[in-house]
Structure 1
Amino acid sequence: MGTSEIIVRFRRRGGQAKESADLRQVTIIPHNEWRRIGDSLDSLTREAARLRAERKAKKEMHLRSQEVVKHWTNTYAGVKEQKLKAKKKRDEEIEAERQILDVEEEIHKQGERKKAIEYAKQCQFYQTERVKNFHSGLLLSRVMKERDAQIEFQKSKIKSDKKWEEQLKLSIEKAFKEEQEKAEKQRRDRVALAKDHLKQIKEHEEEEERKRKHEEKDAEEIKRQNSLYEIEMKKKLEKKKEDINESRRLFFEHMNDKNIIKAVEQQQQEEEDEKIRKFIKAKKRLMQMGKEKEAETHRLMEERRERINNFLSELMKEKIDNEDLIIARDIAEAEAEWEKREREKYEKNKAELRAIAEHRAVVMKNKEEEERQRKSEAKEQLLANMKIDQIFWEHEKEKKRKADKERQEVQDAHIQQMAKNKFNAKQAKQAELEYYRRTEALVAEKEKEFQEYAREVTELESESTNKYIYPLVKAVQEGSGGGHGPIFVDRGGLRPSYQANDITGVQLPFYNSQGSKYSNFQKSKGRLGFTW
């Protein structure tokens, strides 16, 4: 018996009751044998754990080796790492040098740009009118100084020579001629400028005239559109009134037709009633005649019966024979037959009269029903017409409301356009005032710069000589604009020039005088442009 069989045999099974084991049949396994059996069963698990431990140990050993070798310099990896670090350091140094060079280059370019800007500003400053006039004065001052020096030199050098005097005279004549030509050229230029100004004034006037005509045309067009709108509205109102009158006329015609139809129907009804009354009267007369005839017949029958009775009585009295009795019986039967026929005729007439009365009642009932239906239809037609009139008036009210709304929208649009134009004009005026303020500030700044420049140049020139600085002082005091008129204080100190209003267009002179040397003031006022 094997060990497994013993274990299976004597172990306690699940779900079974506990049984007492026989100790004589139990096999005892030694401890070493038991360990051997366990080791044989757990060999795979222990082998896997051993392999995992070996791999972990190898990995830890590899990491420790890498940590140790990482700082070595005599290996291929160490040499490579050192070369990479050296290359990276060299690249950083080169990049730092390049950045320094870029900064220096940027500073140099910025300085060059600043110099170019300063030079451009200086050139622009030298190109201004006041600086040009000041330089002209500076040149005149230096020329005057040079002229005096040359005159002094010529006086000391040149002797009184006739040939020199003739040459000097020719030079003076030539200079005088050149001055005359120059003055004539300036006059022609002034005349051309005056004509150009007059042409520009005329063009401006024509432009204003065209603008005014265009505005008048727009106003006429708006007026015409308003007139057309009013005419259209009048036409619509007239058409509306015509439609209302037409509807009213149709309504009245309809009512007249209804009244006529009603009168005709009433007349027909009266005629029918008259016929019925005549028929009833005739029937009554016939019935009266029938009653009278019946009474007459009854009276005759009574008389006949009386005669027959008398006759029979006489016969009875006379005791006539049987033949007379038979004849009397036959006569009685004939009279009874006649009475029967008369009674049937009376019943027939009575039935006919009853049928006539029933027919008359049916006809009157139909007439009443037709009259009631006609009144109902007339009432429905009246309500329909009233509803149509109400819809028409509501439609007219809606049209009027839409027209009022459109007119209000047009009016609001006009008001908005006027407000917009006013706002734009106000904005333009504010922009113009802002432009004037900025212009004044700029002119003041330029004037300050010019005064500093002129002061420096004047001081520099006055160091050499103080005799010829008057042109510089005059150029400084003239003000911007270079004219001969009064200075505009509100326009940055501008000094414009004025031209005559006549055909010459010459510039008015600049002089101060206590009185006028001209006696004709009207001519002077005409030249100045005054008309009063």
Structure 2
Amino acid sequence: MPYRGRAAYPSYVDESLFGNPHAAAASRMRDTPAEYKSVAVLGASELGNISMRATKTGFERSSQQEERERLHALSNERKAKWGNTLEATREKKERMRQEKLDAEEAMRQAIDREEEALQAEKRRLVIERANKMLYDSTDRVKALHSKLHLSDVLQEREAQLEIKKAAAARSKVEEERWYQKQQEAIRRMDAEEDAREAEDARKREELARFRAGQLDERRQQFEAKLSERRREGEFMKSVAMADLEQERAMREMEREKQEQLRAEFNEANAFLMRQKEEERMILEAEEQRMIQYAKQKEKDLIERRQRESKRFNDRQTWRQKLIDEQISKLQDINAMQNARLEAQAVEVQAKAAEARARLDEKKKDELLVTHMSRQQQIRWKAEKAAQEEANAEYHAAQLKKLNAHLREEEAMAIREKFERARNNQGFLLSQMAQKRSKAEEEKAEELIQAEMAKQWMGDDDAIYEQYAQLCLDEYAAAGKNTKPIELLVSKQLNSTKLTS
């Protein structure tokens, strides 16, 4: 493509947005005549560049480039001997990466070789399996396999019998363990019942001791009260005796006082009598004198007698008045003393009645306390009997619940055992069905593959005999019942010999 000037290129810029920078050149180009439109105007530098590009191939190197390349090669030669440069590190990493890739490639090649050998072995095994399947499709091999299966079934049956025996033994052991647990629970309950009865007996003994102590304490209190009452009675008796003694002493004093008063009164009477006697004697003497002087002084004597008689009467009246007053005073004193004694006697009787009332009240209180204690003991005995009956009913209900729970657990254990046995039997049946279906599928597939390898069959009788012997040895080593296999092999060999 020839070089065209800048002015020759049209502009595709939207002039309405930014404007066209070559608008002037484009307008000149439009105005230029057609014969001048193919002419381009170039500058000197552009023309020199064009000529240089046209004359040179582009692979020429200048001296500076050669010098740079020489120095670069020299630097690379020196640098190649350094181990701590970035380039050396990069090359080392590259070598390590390459070595790793080579090792991985060698490993992959080894794996490929192993895979190839494995595939070859698989092909060989497939061919052998196909040959075996083709061989197994014969009647006598099928018969042999049926006998082998019969041996497996017999062994499985023996194993099932052993399992059944072991299960029966385990069930018996579990039943024995359960029986032992039940017996242990019963013994434990009996021990708890004995301990509870012992505890109840101990509590009863403690209660009896406590009641005996209470009775002793009550007896001691009663005896103390009796002794206190005796002491109070003795004290009251001593007080009463003291009061009586005091009263007797007072009465004695009063009596002595009365005796003294009576003696004084008698003394006064005696004094009066003596005085009267003296007066009488005086009177008699006066009468004698008056008799002597009767004649001279009869008139005066008569007057004096009258006066003396009057005075005597007055004196006698005064004396009688004094005696009456003393007698009245003595009577008042006696009445006061009698009233005081009667009041004291009434007071003593009232105190004795009050003491007897207190004693009766105490006796009533003690009788009431004793009655209440007896009623409380009777109520406690009734409550204890009711509690023991309730405990017995509760223990019986708990034992009944425990027996029901144990029977339910035993029934659940039997059901679980039956379900496990049924599940195990179902699982075994499903496994046997899966094994049979899988064996049939494998046989069908092996028959299909064995048809392609039928040409590899050799001496059938020898192979069969060898195969039967291998199966017999294998089953004998496994401890299985080989009697069906031996009978079949001997029968087939005898029939083969007879046929031959």
Whether TM exceeds 0.5 here: the answer is no
Structure having the higher helix fraction is: 2
Answer 1 or 2: higher relative contact order, Cα 8 Å, separation at least 6. 2
Rg larger in 1 or in 2? Answer: 2
Range class of TM-score, shorter chain: 0.3 to 0.5
